[in-house]
């Protein structure tokens, strides 16, 4: 969430940035709410000042009973007015904050300006896209021929866009998750396994609520997590962290649940876009002055997984119209899929600056000098997939498929599969 005082002071810049995001914001309503808060605050402060002056008058009026009676009446009237105006200020601030819950983050100056995903910028590529001397099959055909993906059974159980892993497919999914967790831990992340159900307050803290509530699955008063970013970021909700402990880095494994899967009408076959999938998530809390260096490091941490698996990929900087609601900057990692003959997203790595921290009240206490103790500041939060497990499995099936229908297991994964080197229809 943005700071309404900062928005008011920089309204022209904010309007320009929101236009670049193609965000339709009612700025007249914002001005109305902000002016209402300013008016109520001015009246509150004026009446409170008068109240203090009258209170001081008790000292001189103590010997005059008539004056004391009049003073008490005036003070009672002022006290009632101050209480009412204080309530009006609180309500005005709440209305402003509620308005800003629907306003996205300000894009960082380094974000490319664009009107659609066509304006995203490829920053770099790694590895050569695979080519075969046979027709490359899409992952669902490879998986079905191997007997490790059963989409028909999944549909019978749960409906469209679910997946059932079988045999070596189930083992491969679990092996990938453990491999990703291990790599992240070696790079300084603390492993966590978070709950899959979270409160509305947690969803609001990371930006899913209230704007995207229809995209979420709800069970009673709790929400199924759309990503481990939600519970992990909220580990430190309403806390003040010590500067000496920053950055704090977590790696989490969880299932993710999303209603909107496949809404764009692309990649709806197979398991690239499903309503339930597994993901390893990287989450960071850091000082504001460090967050863009930490963002680059976060991307490098996610890239390391793809390099170790020897999967060709590219890094893409999303433009202003394509970055997520809460992000100030976002890089996507896109892996090469021979079956689709295209690059597809496998990780999004975002810097949210203090947007989430302000919503979730996550601050840190700067180190002071001597007896001087600076005021707490909001941390910056970052997160990225490290990686989407199912999509990584897709990339392995398509990039490591063989002419005989088998799939070679990437060397880095073999220790997690008991030394298995190849998955074949007879495995």
| 342, containing H or E segment | strand 342-351
For strands 342-351 and 362-365, give the pairing: unpaired
Active-site residue 258, yes or no? yes
Q: What are phi and psi of 223, to 5 degrees?
A: -115, 140
Catalytic residue among 74, 97, 304, 345: 345
For strands 276-286 and 329-337, give the pairing: unpaired
Tokens 């809390």 correspond to what residue?
285
- Tell me how far apart the alpha carbons of residues 217 and 219 are, in angstroms, rounded to a whole number: 7
**Residue 366 Ramachandran class (φ > 0 left, ψ -120 to 50 alpha, else beta):** beta
Tokens 């996507």 correspond to what residue?
332
Catalytic residue among 294, 334, 391, 398: 391
- Tell me how far apart the alpha carbons of residues 69 and 58 are, in angstroms, rounded to a whole number: 10
Active-site residue 273, yes or no? yes
Catalytic residue among 258, 329, 344, 363: 258
| 254, containing H or E segment | strand 248-257
Distances (CA, A) of 194 to 23, 370, 380, 400: 33, 39, 21, 32
**In sequence order, which residues have a C-beta less than 8 Å from that of residue 9 and are 6 or more positions away?**
none
The 3-state DSSP class for residue 77 equals: helix
Distances (CA, A) of 58 to 76, 80, 221: 13, 18, 53
Catalytic residue among 273, 344, 358, 359: 273
Q: What are phi and psi of 359, to 5 degrees?
A: -70, -35
For strands 239-242 and 362-365, give the pairing: parallel
Catalytic residue among 317, 326, 348, 385: 348
- Tell me how far apart the alpha carbons of residues 169 and 162 are, in angstroms, rounded to a whole number: 14
Residues marked active site are found at 258, 273, 345, 348, 391
């Amino acid at each position: 969430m943005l700071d309404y005082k900062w928005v008011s002071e920089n309204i022209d810049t904010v309007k320009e940035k929101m236009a670049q995001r193609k965000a339709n914001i009612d700025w007249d309503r914002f001005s109305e709410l902000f002016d209402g808060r300013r008016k109520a605050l001015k009246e509150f402060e004026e009446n409170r000042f008068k109240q203090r002056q009258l209170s001081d008058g008790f000292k001189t009026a103590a010997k005059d009973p008539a004056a004391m009676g009049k003073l008490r009446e005036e003070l009672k009237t002022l006290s009632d007015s101050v209480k009412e105006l204080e309530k009006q200020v609180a309500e005005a601030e709440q209305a402003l904050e509620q308005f800003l819950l629907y306003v996205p983050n300000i894009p960082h100056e380094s974000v490319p300006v664009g009107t659609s995903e066509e304006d995203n910028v490829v920053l770099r590529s790694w590895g050569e896209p695979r080519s075969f001397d046979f027709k490359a099959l899409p992952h669902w055909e490879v998986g079905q021929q191997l007997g490790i993906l059963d989409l028909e059974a999944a549909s019978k159980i749960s409906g469209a866009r679910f997946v059932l892993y079988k045999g070596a497919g189930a083992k491969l999914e679990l092996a990938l998750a453990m491999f990703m967790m291990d790599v992240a831990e070696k790079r300084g992340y603390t492993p966590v396994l978070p709950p899959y159900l979270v409160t509305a307050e947690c969803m609001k803290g990371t930006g899913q609520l209230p704007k995207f509530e229809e995209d979420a699955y709800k069970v009673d008063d709790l929400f199924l997590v759309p990503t481990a970013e939600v519970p992990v970021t909220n580990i430190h909700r309403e806390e003040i962290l010590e500067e000496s402990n920053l950055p704090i880095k977590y790696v989490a494994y969880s299932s993710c649940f999303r209603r909107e899967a496949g809404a764009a009408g692309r990649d709806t076959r197979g398991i690239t876009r499903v309503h339930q999938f597994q993901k390893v998530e990287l989450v960071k809390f850091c000082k504001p002055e460090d967050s863009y260096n930490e963002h680059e490091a976060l991307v490098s941490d996610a890239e390391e997984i793809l390099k170790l698996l020897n999967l060709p990929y590219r890094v893409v900087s999303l433009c202003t119209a394509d970055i997520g609601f809460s992000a100030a900057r976002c890089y996507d990692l896109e892996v090469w899929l021979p079956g689709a003959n295209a690059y597809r997203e496998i990780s999004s790595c975002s810097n949210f600056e203090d947007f989430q921290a302000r919503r979730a009240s996550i601050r840190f206490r700067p180190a002071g000098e001597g007896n001087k103790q600076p005021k707490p500041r909001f941390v910056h939060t970052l997160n990225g997939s490290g990686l989407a497990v199912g999509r990584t499995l897709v990339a392995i099936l398509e990039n490591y498929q063989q002419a005989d229908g088998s799939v070679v297991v990437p060397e880095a994964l073999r220790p997690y599969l008991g030394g298995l080197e190849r998955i074949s229809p007879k495995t």
